[in-house]
Structure 1
Amino acid sequence: MAEVPLGGEPRALSAPAVDVPEPAAEGPWARLCWGVRAYGFIAAMWIRSTMVYRGSFLMMVAGSLTLTALDFAAIVIMFSHVGALGGFALPEVALLYGTCTASFGLADLLMGSFDKLGTRVRDGTMDTVLVRPVPALAQVAADRFALRRLGRVLQSAAVLGWALANVDVDWSGGSVLLLVVTLLSGAAIFCSLFVLGGAFQFVAQDAAEVQNSFTYGGVTLLEYPPTIFAKELVRGVTFVVPLAFVNWLPVLRILGEDDPLGLPGWVDFGGPVVAAACCALAGLAWRAGLRAYRSTGS
């Protein structure tokens, strides 16, 4: 990759050296803490590299914010011709949009580099990741950490703030807590999808588009009310790929609406459990993918 400074010629952007400490103790919890610290060190390295050209960084964030804002602009234009969409008014759709895009924006910021894993597997540069004394998952997740993705997070936060101010909801402590838990659980579910997609690329070698169909495609689906989709599709994103727990089920609970499948009310609070199960599955798939990696043979 090359970074282009304002008013200057492109030049190669190399990663500055960073010393990642060895784990102080053994055990699953110690390895997890070490992986998180390693991720932070690597991400901080790339952030310092990005901030060398702050003008370029600000322009890239503004561009990302503008491009993602076009998605919501299309929804606003749609509501200029209709009063409701599947029984949902504009503030309610904005609440759906804001929750799913905020969760996805956080996941994309933290794990978005996984869509480049197929290239590493094909050209054999995954070997350099595996020989370093740092967890491979942390290295791949933080590789070329793109702080410009904050543009999507800021745009979704703005839409979510507008929706919260205009939606007809009696906000109680339980509703606020459910909203916060929904955002975090949704981000964890999307992070697990990024890791699962990365694990699949160890086998397929170039499956970025398959991964994107569940991540970027999933967030586009969740921007709209579930009532406009066929029940078979709603069942699929509830019981097969549990994207409905990102925002559909908890937001319907907040709005006081019934879900199209008529599920028991307690299911609406299942986001954290589903997120934990997805993360556990993603961890197992990642370990299996690493064991299946055979390099390029060169």
Structure 2
Amino acid sequence: MFVINPDPYSLPAYRIGPFCTRDLSLNHILPDDDLIENYFTERFGYDNYLYTYNGRQAINIALGQFDLNPDDIVTILTTSGNYYISSCVTIEIERYCKWSREIGPATKVLFVNHEFGYPYPEMKHLRGLNLPVIEDCAGSFFSSDKEDTIGEIGDFVIYSFPKMFPIQVGGLLVARNKTGAIQVADQHPGIVRYVKNVLSKYIKEKDSIIRQRIANYMTLRSMFDTLDLPERFVLAPGNVPGVFMFKTGNYKIDLPMLKKHFWEHGIQSSVFYGEEAYFIPVHQGLTAHDLDYFYEVMKAFLKMNFQ
């Protein structure tokens, strides 16, 4: 059985990303390994990528290449078209200029967010706008689309490693031109060594990671369908989910209350603000019993509020 309404001092710790406490020691003892360099060079080209401390730093560096003025606009486009966008993105843009969700005369850069592993559907159209593009693939490291456009159109592409791998830090900035020309003051050499070691271990498990995420998604989708909570995004071939997101409109759920409920059960999760939808972890580190626990936590919420 699972304990519902546990003591707050004895909660489990499920995160959106796969890092868990035991990875602290496992990652600490990894030997130096540069295998990930071979993977990145084959995928992105030699000297076309730059390690960063996190995805936010990668966004900041990319924006810094465009000589933006305070009244310029970076237009944000997202897979869903939902007007919510993470403050991790908007705060970095606001360091340089304004942002908008509409393309207008003052738009100088397009910032495309491939949300939660799901590609923005009109990348080829953006090519014809003659505007520089930053692609945010923070949650879409392994995702692809049928036209192979994700991560291939942008002048810069952003990745965030903790969203896909069991690691606490690390981002990547990929450029269509050589990143060697980009001057960055703080490269965190010790952190870069650590990131390379961890990624070199887990990139060998790429196929397994992808399979497990998709399998976990399918399991959660089947479970939550029985609760009349359907998936928000349709998982297409090539998509590797960053979360499991479900629609809650059939119940008119108080979403802040649902968030409180999940967090009180040790499950990092959130509202998809702007819609009646909610997302929970789906990563490769979850077992079948973990997924059962998520289901039981959700079922308990419905029982408390709708029966």
TM-score strictly above 0.5: no
Higher helix fraction (1 or 2): 1
TM-score (structure 1 length as normaliser): 0.24
TM-score (structure 2 length as normaliser): 0.24
